[in-house]
Amino acid sequence: MILTIAKKQLVDNIVGTRHAVSLRFPIALVLCSSLMVFSTYMLIEDYAHQVSDLTDFLRPDGYREAAAGHWDTARLAEGPTPVTRHIPALKVLCIGLGDDMSLIATIRPFVGAIYKQKSFITNTALDLFPAIDFVLIVNIVVSLLAMTFTYDAISGEKQDGTLRLLLANAVPRHQVLLGKWLGSYICFLLSYIPSLIGVALLILLNPMIALTGSEWWPVILIFALSIVYTTVFFSLGLLVSSRTRDPKTSLLTLLAIWTFLALIIPNFSPYLAAEVHPARTPYEIEAELNSIGFEETQEAWERVRDSMGEALEDRLREIMVSRNLKPAPAGSWNLSYGTWSDGVRMLISDTSDEEARALQLASSRSARTELQNVTSRNSEVKHDYMKRLRKQMFISKAISSLSPVTSFTYLATDLAHTGLQGEQHFRRTVDIFKNQFVAYVGEKLASQKFVDRPDVSNMPSFRYEPRAAVTVANDDLIHLLLLALFNVVFFMGAYLSFLRYDVR
Amino acid sequence: MRLIVWKETLENIISYRNLITTGLCVILFLSSAFIMTRDYQNRQVNYSLRDAMGQTRTGMRPKIAKPPASLSILARGLDANMGRLIFIWWSQPRKEVGADVVDPGERNPLFSLFAAPDSVYIVKIVMSILALFFAFDSICGEKERGTLRMMLASGRTSRSSVILGKWLGGYLSFLICFLPALLMVLIWMAVHPAMDIKGEDWARIGFIVLFSLAYISIFFLLGLFASTLTHRGATSLLIILLLWVVWVIGAPNLGVLLAKRLSPVPESLAFMSEKGAIGQRRFDSQMDSFEAYWQADDRYIAKVNQQADLVQKLTRLSPLASYVYASTALARTGVAESQRYQRAVIDWDRNIRRTADRQMREYRKQMEEYNSRLESGLHAGSISAPPERPKGAYEWAEEVPFDYKETRLSEAFGTIWTDVFLLLGFNVVLFMAAYLSFLRYDIR
């Protein structure tokens, strides 16, 4: 019986209903596939343009060449040593963070890792509209289409009076519901899957993207998840349809719910989270770090000088004067280097004056201790702030998980390596490399003369490996579970409501 | 006809749909005003920090140059872009001019994943759907109930007065739902201590409200038009929903993609490395290298602006884009404003460098004269003191004013008259379509 009902529903949806030729199947098919194919095609073009612009810039071995190209070892210590990641090919499906995604970080051992920002001059007109990609189309368009397949499944038949006739034939209610679900679902999939095939073909046929075997997994997963996600709205349509008396009310109610889920919750949630758990603005933190850097560094340096007595400064000044170098004014001592900048370092590196060398070493040692104090205060402030920010993000995600839209967005962008996870992973990889590189530079500075060209044969290597789809999905398990939960709840809701539906 | 307007208004006001809509509007607009005010206050704090970020020994001195726009709580637009604390040239030498002080990794990235829910967002997305809800069955719903036939059968009402009445009454009743929310937001803006809204700003707010009404009316008319094309409410709703998706979500975004394809701009990272290559070249004087930089900048700006123009042209296919351009321009958060701001920062930077260069050259010349006089062996006693070294970069920055002026109301209108025209034009066209289609409507 289920199959008969399913078949009838399928035919109704595709060919036509009681009153008119059904519009939803052809409209869904045409709208969905044309939007998706067009947007994916455009995004592939965009990606190709970006890749060809940046090939020279994002060479994976660029950092090694930059390091080998330095004139002397001292410069190796100052950087810049750029490390990069590839532009994720699946940007053509999910733009994710878009231009905010870091592709390149410059390592400067004394400063840290600096992430390249986009240029100041940008086309701001682009910022006024969200970019349209596969994720946005699924989130907004396909979810809406999915609901149009079920909004009148029950209430429509009731209005026509056919529901009563159907149940009068001693067909069990659960069979009616399952049959309706199945029939409409197949019809919905028939209208949706051609778009997926179209998108997959576009990706497959473009030589720029060239996904290899395991790289197809994220694509397949994103497609599968999009079906799971749209099923949520499909079942929601059935639920509302079995709780209302006429199709117009069902559609209006559904649209109201959909507006909240798709257009309001995701956009309000970060702001609400900021209200619940406020954090200082990043600029306030930066200002505080600045004052630590300025005032405390100065005080620390004064302590170093006090501890060394005036001997160091006087002696260095003497050496410089004897070599016709202009001594820097007292204020330009630099705690990071433990001495005056450039001039003195060069001088000490090739002076044979043991006394000066000893003084410099002693000053560096006490300066390093002071510098560590300042640095640890800095990182404490930053750490507290980041902790608070992460909590805020957690709350924001918790609020937004009321809507399946955000769950799907997080999952898809993470699988495509264009989302938050990809960004964090890149930053973690850079951090690990930075620590190795700093240790390496320290070693080089100790063993090699500053003026020699650096030997980079045993330099640590940087390699950014995108995380495997399984790992990504595992980290986003909560979102997977939520999507499943929404499906189960809505379907069960529809089932139970229909069992008690007044068919008269 | 007055009777129809009256009937339509009354019928709608009493309905359940109306209560829900009014409540929804009040909740959405007030919560949006609330969180956007907080957002605005944060930007004010950032602006006040521009000097506290101040001088350090490495010469870091970032500045934010534009105070946040108070009307951004209605239309946030590009205000956050313009409100960034940016580096200027003598500051951190390792960052570009105009680079943000804060690394993007230290912000909450969730803010940029979804659009900001300001009033313009609620109007452009939520209110447009609501307007469709109000209009989708105004004709076909009456037909379904059989009342349309009765109304026209009496012979005392003509078709044109029915459609006019439906339009006026329906739209008015929708506005009545919108009014309490609007009033509350206006009161909020008038009394909130963080807002500093002066005379002209109220005119701007007034125009933003007018644009919102015109934009909403487009969707109301679209609903009316669809209801004269169909015979069942549900069909009409389905059709307009799909039209809404294509027109509001699809068209502007696809316009953006198309514009990027037709008028490509080099990737900003590639452009920055091109500038880096200029830096490596040998130049006779520092000014020569600056000039080379500036030429590269100007070429890039020209391309970017060309793309921005095309984006605006193509996206205007959708009234959403026109509405966004018009309201952000009036809120001083629009595209033209941000281009003007970028230009002002760039010119400021150049003027400071020119001033610095001029003063240093003068100093060097004076110093040479002084040295030659010293060398010519005159009596040391008769030589005056050496010339004074020019002041540092900080002082040059104070000497060269940052020449950024907000756009005046008339200037703002100069950039958006196309949008105003389009918003009205869509209204007229859709009304005509609904009118003509109703004249031939099969009322049986």
Q: Where are the domains of chain B?
A: 2-49+116-190+200-350+394-439, 354-390
Task: Kindly determine whether residue B268 and residue A99, on different chains, have CB atoms separated by under 8 Å.
Answer: yes
| Partner-chain contact A126 B99, CB within 8 Å | no
Residue A399 pLDDT greater than 80, yes or no = yes
Q: A112 CB near a chain B CB, below 8 Å?
A: no
The angle, 0 to 180 degrees and rounded to 10, between the axes of the packed helices A404-415 and A420-447 is: 40
Enter the tokens of residue A126.
């682009």
A contacts of B41 (beta carbons < 8 Å): none
Inter-chain Cβ pairs, chain A and chain B, closer than 8 A: 274
Query: Is the pLDDT score of B56 beyond 50?
Result: no
DSSP letter for A259, please: I
Of the residues B113, B126, B177, B227, the best mutation for testing chain A's interface (the one with the most A CB atoms within 10 Å of its CB) is B113
The reply to whether residue B245 touches residue A141, judged by beta carbons under 8 angstroms, is yes
Highest mean pLDDT among A50-59, A233-242, A315-324, B351-360: A233-242
CA atoms of B336 and B318, how far apart (whole Å)? 19
Cβ contact B105–A104 (<8 Å):
no
The mean predicted confidence, pLDDT, of chain B is 83
Where does residue A161 fall: left (phi above 0), alpha (psi -120 to 50 degrees), or beta otherwise?
left
* Predicted confidence (pLDDT) at residue A481 exceeds the cutoff of 70: yes
Chain B CB within 8 Å of residue A22 CB: no
In this complex, do A294 and B57 lie within 8 Å of one another by their Cβ atoms? yes
Out of A156-170, B85-99, B186-200, B430-444, least confident range = B85-99
Distance in angstroms (rounded) separating the CA atoms of residues A423 and A353: 49
* E strand spans, A207-322: none
Highest mean pLDDT among A9-23, A149-163, A273-287: A273-287
Res. B298: pLDDT tops 80: yes
Domain locations in chain A as residue ranges:
282-391
ipTM: 0.84
Summarize the confidence of residues A492-503 as an average pLDDT.
85
The verdict on A392 touching B (C-beta cutoff 8 Å) is yes
Q: Does A409 touch chain B (CB under 8 A)?
A: yes
Q: Is residue A145 within 8 Å of A187, Cβ to Cβ?
A: no
β-pairing, A333-334 with A112-115?
unpaired
Contact across the interface for A267 and B116, Cβ inside 8 Å: yes
Q: Residue B388: helix, strand or coil by DSSP?
A: coil
Based on the number of CB atoms within 10 Å of its own CB, is B175 exposed (0-12), middle (13-18) or buried (19 or more)? middle
Confidence (pLDDT) at B59: 46
Q: Is the peptide bond before A26 cis (omega within 30 degrees of 0)?
A: no
Residues in chain A with CB shorter than 8 Å from the CB of B270 are 53-54, 56-57
Does A124 touch chain B if contact means CB atoms closer than 8 Å?
yes
**A341 pLDDT above the threshold of 60:** no
Q: Is-contact B272 A119, C-beta < 8 A?
A: yes
What would the mean pLDDT of A469-482 be, rounded to a whole number? 91
Q: How far apart are CA B372 and CA B367, in angstroms?
A: 9
Residues in chain A closer than 8 A to B261 (CB atoms): 42, 45-46
pLDDT of residue A3: 75
Residues with Cβ < 8 Å from B2, sequence gap 6 or more? B165
Locate the chain B residue with the closest alpha carbon to A250.
Answer: B234
- Considering only A387-401, B134-148, B238-252, which range has the smallest mean pLDDT? B134-148
For residue A483, the model assigns a pLDDT of 95
* Partner B contacted by A116 (CB < 8 A): yes
Share of chain A above pLDDT 70, in %: 82
Is 0.90 surpassed by the pTM of this model? no
DSSP string, B213-246: HHHHHHHHHHHHHHHHH-SSHHHHHHHHHHHHII
Partner B, chain A 159-198, Cβ-Cβ below 8 Å: none
- Best residue of B76, B238, B300 to probe chain A, by most A CBs closer than 10 Å: B238
Pick from B83, B294, B105: which is nearest to A116 by CA? B105
